[in-house]
Structure 1
Amino acid sequence: MSEIKIWATVLVAALMPVVFVTIGGGADLDIGSWRLSFWGWLGPLLALAGSLVIQLLANSIGRGRWSRCGMWLALLLFSWVAVRMWTGGDQAARIVHFAQGGWLMLLVVGMNSLWRHRIHPKPTWKALLGSIVAGVIIFSGVVLADRADLKKRIEIGTTDNGRSDVILIVVDALRADVLGLYGAEPSPSPFLDGLASTGMVFDRAFSQAPWTVPSVASLMSSLYPTTIRPAGKENGWKVEGGNLVRPLPEDMPWLSTRFRKAGYHTAGLVKNDWLNGPSGFDRGFDVFEYVGGTKADGHSAQELVSAVQRWSKAYVKARTQKRVDRFFLYVHFMDPHIPYRPPGKHHPERQRNYEGPLDGTAGSLLQALKDGPGPTVADREHLMALYRGEVAYLDTQLRNLHQVLTEAGLWDVNTIVVFASDHGEQFGEHGTFQHGDVYRENVHVPLVLFGPNLQTGRLEIPVRLIDVAPTLLELAGLDGFNLSEGRSLTPALLGQSLTPIPVLTEHGGKRRVTGTTHSLLLRGKKQSVFAVEDFAEVSQVSSDEAFEAPELLAWLLEHEARRIPSFSQAQPVEIDPDVLKGLQELGYLD
């Protein structure tokens, strides 16, 4: 029995840091190269703790006795949780619902009656108290080690004190027309709508690709996807050989690298698996973290805000000690990307009674598409309602992000802030789902810019995500990239005129050129022209009516005939199995 008591005491002490962090909402903690992801384990921890307390209380009044089977089951479960949590347990299957945790607790307690030979351990309250004290000490040590590690990565930098801090907020898979500031009624985004009224809203902003990797690469480099990687015109962006990915070229320009060279502290906090690992998106960042926890459902956005708060505390301390001057912060939310599973009150009440085959996950949607004839109108409305619920949840977390950074003194009237999305989302429009086409719902994205002494209001001419990097660099008083296909939008932000130019979006053999009055879509040899007023893009315009179409086509032919410098293409590298699993959950892999 003494060995069992020692084992139990060590386990309780080992799990106390997990308990403290998980109750606080979860966190990623770094101890050198060792990363601890304490997320989503509150259910099993409470279940196991509850079963232990029940047995101790029962034994203390003489009405309960541990059975061997129950004790061993409890110890084994405790051990499994402890090992998983201290060795990257964020990727293990998690019990996140208290109802499931309750069943687990009943299982452990119930096993006590299934073994004939009974044992009578005395309540070990002193040992339990000692375990808790030891756990508190371990927890304090882990937190201190994490803060020390983060402190090392907040580099000493010197910038011109007259420059502004810069925040880039990117939301994954957020189509513009779902937001109140772009006309959605009722609006699921009241906070963002109000905030946007204090900045410049770009009514017709378009991404350069309808999915994350090429779109964010273009945003950060101010280059078109096919300039970065000519093979991207076909399938050069996708996973190669099932578990390989080709990192971004090392010699291409990058926004965070430019800020870092100027003396800024650079931090990137992301949730998308495509931005994780060896893809190359972490270049130029002093701190770049893929935040653990849920992927794109549940409390994903809240977890990201918690990570930002952890960074902000360390950064403010460094700034107070005059170790840094200015920062560039990149935050990438995953909500409302599939799986569409908004948490709690944000789950639409009407959809709780839905009895169709779609549960909001990529797997159920892909299965419905394979089985044919595909989602019905009711199914599509169900998915769209869940998506709007995700947007409503995101809006509350954007409010929390604003509050965290404002209270830390990192978001004020002198801060340059960009809010954007990398691409939109489809729900059966034009026969497709998620994001794999160049129709408006997939590439028309929100773009709002805030900054000191800048104009507020709305700008109606088409603009591009590749215009973001040159704009931020000019506003920060920094030189632009040597090679750039975007242009600065600063003149419009200062009240000056901005000449409209065609906006190009690329995806494999599909291309879209958006003009002032019309949009030209080329899908292989098929050519379609739509008027700007046709938001759904369902009524094609004849060539006689589309006077701008020939100009857009001529611009595209001239653009594709240009000579551009080529970048060195890196060799493919293997993707971590956990990252592949995450990409599958996000619907990128079958």
Structure 2
Amino acid sequence: MRSIFALLLIAMCSLSTFANEPKIKNVVFIISDDLKASVLGCYGDPHCKTPHIDALARRGMLFRHAYCQGTWCAPSRESFMHSRYEGKSDINLGKHFRDNGWYSARVGKIYHMRVPGDIIDGTDGLDVASSWTEKFNSSGLEAHTPGDYACLNQNIFTTSLENRESTKMKHRMFVTVQYDGDGSDQPDHKSATKACELIAEHKDDPFFLAVGFVRPHYPMVAPRQYFAPYPWQQIELPATVDDDLADIPKQGIANTVSTTNAIGKYPDNQKRMWTGYYASVAFMDRQVGRVVDALDQAGLRDSTAIVFTSDHGYHLGEHGFWQKSNLHEEVLRVPLVISAPGFKTGETDSVVELVDIFPTLSQLAGLPIPDSVQGKSLVPILADPRAKVKDAALSFHKGHSLRTDRWHLMRYKDGSAELYDMKSDPAEFTNLAGAPGYAAKLKQLDRQLDKTLEANGLNK
């Protein structure tokens, strides 16, 4: 007869083995386009209505300090899909799941697509075919949607379909369209519908489903009911300070600035830009809710890891800047929510990066993490929000950004720099690079940036 000790040992080993088996049988990776973290309710915005993303955050881990690596669509998406700071490797996130026997599907924009060009044409953009078992594009009329059209930096308001700013046109980024309809004609609604169909179709098999929504990327098109809660007359524009750009180096200035673009002539239209952005975010949020609801209806919520994020943030007049492609906080900081069965819910202030998503999902699914991956798994933070997996986030554009929990260094290729104390100056109004008393801190962060670049095989 076996001893009680031996039986207990066998039982403990069995429990340990069970605990180590992956509980995640499916992955849904949802990516918004041009979405700044600060605009969501769960990140503290009191105005924008994002109940579905907020609900997802309550059932998962919200990362308050998540940062993109590329500062516009193409390099950012290539970066997180390959878990490489710059460039790509032979293995990507979708291919990794596919090679391990999972059904892998793309719906909408995952790798770079021209918006609106590829959306209007229904084309693949810079998609990587090896990622997917199947792929589905979601087309739409974009700025050509019949309705109330505005080109806000040109102060044009019309219902005519003639002469609208569209693909590759100079003023397309300042376009909004609000119209009468239920939204079912919009690309994001189509993407959500297809995602729901795929969830139901593949519920009995392990699947990796990447769902890419194009809003709030311009043109900001949504049904009229999504504009209604945000009348432009009630919008408060971002705070400004006198001579705000005086201490920002030339390479730190955004490509589109109120001082040189006609949008600066129209403060009311700047408010209308916020209205359009809020409306687009709210419409996209509804589509997120539809996808999550489909998981619940299929009985898959307790076996599915859900990730929600964006490729980068966006400027809407902060510092007089518009759009993306610079190294300031509004561009680099992105929303990141991971809802994984068996892990804690809550929030974390740990600094993380989008390159961390690939190894995180691999570990959650019980897959090996490829040697090519440069990110770190966030599973320790899912288990304990106080945990840290890295000391800083690295981003690149005309140089590099190093974002620690308190400091933000931007070092440009021409040798100029910006340094901000994010604890006392979260809006980045006072550049401390060169300021008295900060030489030692600048030197320390300079060395840290050099070491980080060297560790990842990157040029200074």
Q: TM-score range by the shorter chain?
A: 0.7 to 0.9
Q: State the alpha-carbon separation in 1 of the partners of residues 453 and 192 from structure 2.
A: 41
| Structure 1 position 438 matched with structure 2 position 327 | yes
Question: In structure 2, what is the Cα distance between the partners aligned to 1:383 and 1:464?
Answer: 28
Counterpart for residue 283 of structure 2 = 393
8 Å CA contact 1:220, 1:254 repeated in 2: yes
> Where do residues 9-408 of structure 1 align in structure 2 (5 Å cutoff)?
163-225=24-86, 228=87, 251-271=89-109, 273-274=113-114, 277=124, 279-295=126-142, 299-316=186-203, 319=204, 325-348=205-228, 351=231, 372=262, 374-408=264-298
Provide the secondary structure at the position in 1 that maps to 2:302: coil
Q: CA deviation at 1:333?
A: 0.5
Q: Which amino acid aligns with 2:218?
A: I
Which consecutive residues of structure 1, in runs of 5 or more, have no partner in the other structure?
Answer: 1-159, 229-248, 320-324, 355-364, 567-590
What is residue 428 of structure 2 aligned with on the other side?
537
Deviation at 1:371, TM superposition (A): 6.3
Choose from 471, 483, 488 the match for 2:377: 488
Cα separation, partners in 2 of 1:459 and 1:373, compared to 1, 3 Å? closer
Q: Could you give the per-residue CA deviations for residues 225-253 of structure 1, whole angstroms, max 9, x where no partner exists?
A: 2xx1xxxxxxxxxxxxxxxxxxxx6x532
CA contact (8 A) 2:378 2:389 kept: no
Aligned residue identity for 1:522: R
- From the superposition, tell whether residues 345 and 520 of structure 1 become closer, same or farther in structure 2 (CA, over 3 Å): same
Letter in 2 for 1:380: Q
Structure-2 change in CA distance of 1:162 and 1:560 (3 Å): closer
Structure 1 residue 218, shift from structure 2 partner: 1.1
Q: 1:548 to 1:366 in 2, by over 3 A?
A: closer
AA in 2 matched with 1:331? V
SS of the aligned residue for 1:342 comes to strand
Greater gyration radius: 1
Query: Structure 1 CA distance, aligned partners of 2:222 and 2:344?
Result: 35
Counterpart Cα distance in 2 of 1:424 and 1:391:
12
Q: Give the Cα separation in 1 of the matches to 2:23 and 2:318.
A: 48
| Whole-angstrom distance in 2 between the partners of 1:370 and 1:217 | 31
The offset of 1:389, in angstroms, is: 1.4
Does the 8 Å CA contact 1:518/1:532 hold for their aligned counterparts?
Answer: yes
Normalised by the size of structure 2, how large is the TM-score? 0.72
Contact 2:258 2:317 in 1 (8 A): no
Q: Which has the higher contact order (CA 8 A, sep 6+)?
A: 2
Q: Which residue of structure 2 aligns with residue 558 of structure 1?
A: 451
CA offset at residue 173 of structure 1? 0.7
Q: Shift in Å at residue 545 of structure 1?
A: 4.4
**1:420 match:** 309
The change in CA–CA distance for 1:546 and 1:408 in structure 2 (over 3 A counts) is: farther
Does the CA contact (< 8 Å) of 2:113 and 2:126 recur in 1?
no
Which range is displaced more, 254-263 or 498-507?
Answer: 498-507
Aligned alpha-carbon RMSD (Å): 2.9
Label 1:449 to 1:484 Cα distance change in 2 as closer, same or farther (>3 A).
Answer: same
Map of 2:407 onto structure 1:
518
Cα distance between partner residues in 1 of 2:456 and 2:331:
29
Equivalent residues of 2:263, 2:270 under 8 A apart: no
Gaps of 5+ in 2: 1-20, 144-176, 178-182, 235-254
**In 1, distance between residues paired with 2:436 and 2:108?**
44
Q: How does 1:498-513 map to 2 (within 5 A)?
A: 498-507=388-397, 509-513=398-402
TM-score (norm 1): 0.57
SS of the aligned residue for 2:195 comes to helix
The answer as to whether partners of 1:518 and 1:548 remain within 8 angstroms in 2 is: no
SS at match of 1:389: helix
Larger proportion of helix: 1
Deviation at 1:339, TM superposition (A): 1.0
| Contact 1:467–1:487 (8 Å) recurs in 2 | yes
Deviations 1:332-357 (A, max 9, x none): 10111111232121113665899xxx
Question: Are the structure 2 counterparts of residues 465 and 352 from structure 1 closer, same or farther at C-alpha, using a change threshold of 3 Å?
Answer: closer
> Higher mean Cα deviation, 466-475 or 296-305?
296-305
